[in-house]
Structure 1
């Protein structure tokens, strides 16, 4: 049934008898439910992505227990002390039975990211064709099923685990373009920066995965890690299926007032964009799109310097125990989530109160997300053995990185609300290559990883990449909706969205 208001706009009236479950949520705004689904979805996704990083320590047999010498070595090029006076450190057997070489372990961990990058463009295309509900939901389900299968396959052959991790990477790569596409249909322009903070659910996911995995391994064995994360993933998929919808028009319980508010503050995108051909050629020739991909490459480079080689720095240079290392490696991600909510809220306030233009807001928060962390990297490299100051800079850098979700990452929806999924896929194909290039470069530089001079080079390179790539965004970053965002399917000609065009279309639908 349709209801037409005096402004000649058409809205769908929810079915009051649809389901008792929806009646329970009748007073909750549909946008808030979508925020919670997005937040929890990325949290669960990153739990299934990162669980193996810690579990593999217990999975693989360790024939050479680590002996810790009671020798302090603090010089101009070394900074290594021990907290304990014991000559050896007790080695705990977590039941590892797999005889995987270090190279095999590297392939298992890296296989996720190879497939992840490949799937970005596929995710943009699939979202345009099938919608976010289908793509995001089934991608999560496939990832969860693979997690449940890893314990069994790992005891057969590591090649099967590599295959499962590749499938997980491919499926996870579809989720980001899918959710970005939903923002353009669902979230009014004044709320978009705040909604982007829901994507930071991944930070909480990382933050809780490591201590959860440690607890499960210690009490139930490493296999329980994958059974737990996989089961959580399947449960989430059921909730997503019941509560997620591709557009306000297809939502069975949304109020007419909320549907009207969304329509008045967004382009009328869903009905047209699902049937449009993605203008890949124009996207590839768009400097605003390239500027987003290039600048976020620098941010990812810095981010993965902290995520992957970072714990090695804490162990080999700062001399932290594995427990302390895990806590201090994971804690900044909890801080980064809280910060992301603050950054996105402030971005909306600056725009809504007309204190800054949207373009300048995006550039300001992009600078905070990579130039400032880059400067902190340089400072860390020259702090030597000042552990307290190093940790302050470390936490500050990781926290500021999330400002990108009020900056260049949110800018994707600004320039192409109709094709946010494909544009994100394009940008992620560029910037996620840094997820394996950054640790590879660090590994090549540090070799054994025990000297301050080697690590200083790692941090300086990261800072250079972050600052140089930001310059591209400073030049070509813009809030302007690109001409190729709206394309008429029949003629293929570009159109500029106006309220008049939208009203005309509504009268036709009515």
Structure 2
């Protein structure tokens, strides 16, 4: 049995600190630098992805909706339509009409269908590029793939205002390119985790992926401010500039493996290699991907299916959510932007707490690794789904609605100590391809969820219609979790290694942090005497 202390090696934090760049590199572990790059990378990626959601309100001309002269009064048996009395109205003998503020009038005569096509075109190609991202990362490494995808997305942001002036088709083309490029980011970053992060630290490192929550949380209020003061074009120039600037930092400070890092301390290098050396095979660029084994792996399917339910609920909050806030509760664009963004800012803090708690439960052997993954997956999708349904039945009690809404969005981040971290557990060598496979499944919910919500509310934006939307969400989130409960595992799969062969040291050893009375979380035992299984 290997020494459990190897997962608790703190000597790299106890080095003397003379004032020199070399010693500064010793003081700040390379893993911390990678964490910050991962966090800021996803933050920037989602800023460039989400800026269109609020900017579209200022770009497209809108038809002023009629406002009921009797405010919010309803007749017996009639569903409640909204929880506010329309403001900024003009009255005539025929009807009463809402007058939008100047920044929401728009300049392009785009129908709702065209607007949906522009926003949704990102996700069409985003899903299709997941597998490509996993393959490219195996051959070119995370540094090239992740950095290149971010740079291409930033260039498209710069070109977006020009494309809008030319034709909406040009915007659809640029959004499609952005989606294809952004689809490479998740498989690329997952691939680097197995090489850099010891098992006892992986849950905490996964919280860096929650940079996307900060990105969403900052983008909505930032867009509202820029649109109000400078116009919608400045939004794209701002996000594009931030993305390009980040690429410079990534180029100088990111490296695919610890052995490639020119500034890593010898102590940290030994610590990382001692912890992950038996799980990963060098720099796995060029390592063949056993797609047949992945496609027939129930643990991989379980991760993809259960996460489909989480993404379904998550995107109810992200895309139809602001529509619900506007149509039912009557928030203007700036207030809506703030209320839509704040929960995602809180999400990052919650993700750090969840991931830290998961590591504590595992390293102290309070729970097995698999049970930790199951519990946090349930917290991330079953509980938010139930809370979302509760929002619909809280009616017009805006204080309780916002409180439950914020809590639900915050809990979703527990997934990064659950099923999302489980990807690295079962295949540290092939985390990129496995993530690509799982993302192809679960990111389809990113456009299916808003489509279903749109279909269910196209005839009426009443509170009753939104209750149906929320009801479907809780059914999807709870139903998909059952699959993970049955087929989920924390075992390293045989196909994680070249030619399906376990290293000799792995055969003789196991992860102390994954021990349990049920041997949960160990290497999958061989099923036959043969040392090789055909993929």
Structure 2 length as normaliser, TM-score? 0.85
- Whole-angstrom CA distance in 2 between matches of 1:210 and 1:117: 24
Aligned counterpart in structure 2 of residue 368 of structure 1, from 357, 365, 379: 379
* Residues 102-148 of structure 1 deviation map (CA, whole Å, 9 limit, x = unaligned): 22111110000000000000000000000000000000000000000
Query: Is contact 1:78–1:450 with CA below 8 Å preserved after alignment?
Result: no
- Whole-angstrom CA distance in 1 between matches of 2:330 and 2:25: 51
Moved more, 286-295 or 387-396: 387-396
Q: CA, structure 1 residues 285+418, in 2 after alignment: closer, same or farther (shift >3 Å)?
A: same
- Whole-angstrom CA distance in 2 between matches of 1:24 and 1:217: 42
Residue 274 of structure 1 aligns to a residue in which SS? coil
Q: Corresponding residue for 2:102?
A: 93
Q: CA, structure 1 residues 415+486, in 2 after alignment: closer, same or farther (shift >3 Å)?
A: same
Residue 382 of structure 2 aligns to a residue in which SS? helix
Q: Corresponding residue for 1:15?
A: none
Q: Corresponding residue for 1:345?
A: 356
The structural deviation recorded for 1:159 is: 1.2
Aligned counterpart in structure 2 of residue 495 of structure 1, from 471, 491, 502: 502
- Whole-angstrom CA distance in 2 between matches of 1:241 and 1:126: 18
Query: Is contact 2:61–2:109 with CA below 8 Å preserved after alignment?
Result: yes
- Any residues of structure 2 matched to 1:32-181 within 5 Å, and which? 32-62=32-62, 64-66=63-65, 68-69=67-68, 71-73=70-72, 75=74, 77-82=79-84, 87-88=89-90, 91-94=100-103, 96-181=106-191
* Residues 130-179 of structure 1 deviation map (CA, whole Å, 9 limit, x = unaligned): 00000000000000000001111211111111111100000000000000
Q: CA, structure 1 residues 118+334, in 2 after alignment: closer, same or farther (shift >3 Å)?
A: same
Query: Is contact 2:82–2:462 with CA below 8 Å preserved after alignment?
Result: no
Query: Is contact 1:79–1:318 with CA below 8 Å preserved after alignment?
Result: no
Aligned counterpart in structure 1 of residue 337 of structure 2, from 326, 332, 354: 326
Residue 32 of structure 2 aligns to a residue in which SS? helix
* Residues 304-348 of structure 1 deviation map (CA, whole Å, 9 limit, x = unaligned): 111111112112222333332222111110111110110000000
Structure 2 residue ranges without an equivalent (≥5): 1-19, 91-97, 510-535
Q: CA, structure 1 residues 500+467, in 2 after alignment: closer, same or farther (shift >3 Å)?
A: closer
The structural deviation recorded for 1:493 is: 4.5
Q: CA, structure 1 residues 458+67, in 2 after alignment: closer, same or farther (shift >3 Å)?
A: closer
Residue 479 of structure 1 aligns to a residue in which SS? coil
- Whole-angstrom CA distance in 2 between matches of 1:270 and 1:171: 27
- Whole-angstrom CA distance in 2 between matches of 1:381 and 1:226: 34
Q: CA, structure 1 residues 454+195, in 2 after alignment: closer, same or farther (shift >3 Å)?
A: same
Query: Is contact 1:374–1:462 with CA below 8 Å preserved after alignment?
Result: yes
The structural deviation recorded for 1:495 is: 2.5
Aligned length: 478
Q: Corresponding residue for 1:30?
A: 30
The structural deviation recorded for 1:69 is: 4.8
Query: Is contact 2:226–2:235 with CA below 8 Å preserved after alignment?
Result: yes
Residue 282 of structure 2 aligns to a residue in which SS? helix
Aligned counterpart in structure 1 of residue 228 of structure 2, from 211, 215, 218: 218
Q: Corresponding residue for 1:484?
A: 495
Q: Corresponding residue for 1:6?
A: none
Q: Corresponding residue for 1:8?
A: none
- Whole-angstrom CA distance in 1 between matches of 2:73 and 2:216: 33
Aligned counterpart in structure 2 of residue 243 of structure 1, from 253, 256, 262: 253
- Whole-angstrom CA distance in 1 between matches of 2:253 and 2:388: 42
Q: Corresponding residue for 2:529?
A: none
Q: CA, structure 1 residues 449+394, in 2 after alignment: closer, same or farther (shift >3 Å)?
A: farther
The structural deviation recorded for 1:234 is: 0.7
Q: Does 1:443 align with 2:450?
A: no
Q: CA, structure 1 residues 309+22, in 2 after alignment: closer, same or farther (shift >3 Å)?
A: farther
Query: Is contact 2:54–2:337 with CA below 8 Å preserved after alignment?
Result: no
Moved more, 451-460 or 156-165: 451-460
Q: CA, structure 1 residues 96+390, in 2 after alignment: closer, same or farther (shift >3 Å)?
A: closer
Q: Does 1:356 align with 2:367?
A: yes
Query: Is contact 2:71–2:86 with CA below 8 Å preserved after alignment?
Result: no
- Whole-angstrom CA distance in 1 between matches of 2:320 and 2:87: 27
Q: Corresponding residue for 2:531?
A: none
Residue 225 of structure 1 aligns to a residue in which SS? helix
Q: Corresponding residue for 2:193?
A: 183
Q: CA, structure 1 residues 328+405, in 2 after alignment: closer, same or farther (shift >3 Å)?
A: same
- Whole-angstrom CA distance in 2 between matches of 1:332 and 1:184: 30
Moved more, 39-48 or 221-230: 221-230
Q: Please, what is the CA RMSD of the aligned residues?
A: 2.0
Q: Corresponding residue for 2:275?
A: 265
- Whole-angstrom CA distance in 2 between matches of 1:298 and 1:402: 14
- Whole-angstrom CA distance in 1 between matches of 2:221 and 2:284: 43
- Whole-angstrom CA distance in 2 between matches of 1:379 and 1:449: 20
The structural deviation recorded for 1:26 is: 4.8
Query: Is contact 1:371–1:466 with CA below 8 Å preserved after alignment?
Result: yes
- Whole-angstrom CA distance in 1 between matches of 2:468 and 2:500: 51
Q: Does 1:377 align with 2:388?
A: yes
- Whole-angstrom CA distance in 1 between matches of 2:112 and 2:255: 44
* Residues 277-329 of structure 1 deviation map (CA, whole Å, 9 limit, x = unaligned): 00000000100000000000000011111111111211222233333222211
The structural deviation recorded for 1:496 is: 4.7
- Whole-angstrom CA distance in 2 between matches of 1:97 and 1:383: 37
Query: Is contact 1:302–1:463 with CA below 8 Å preserved after alignment?
Result: yes
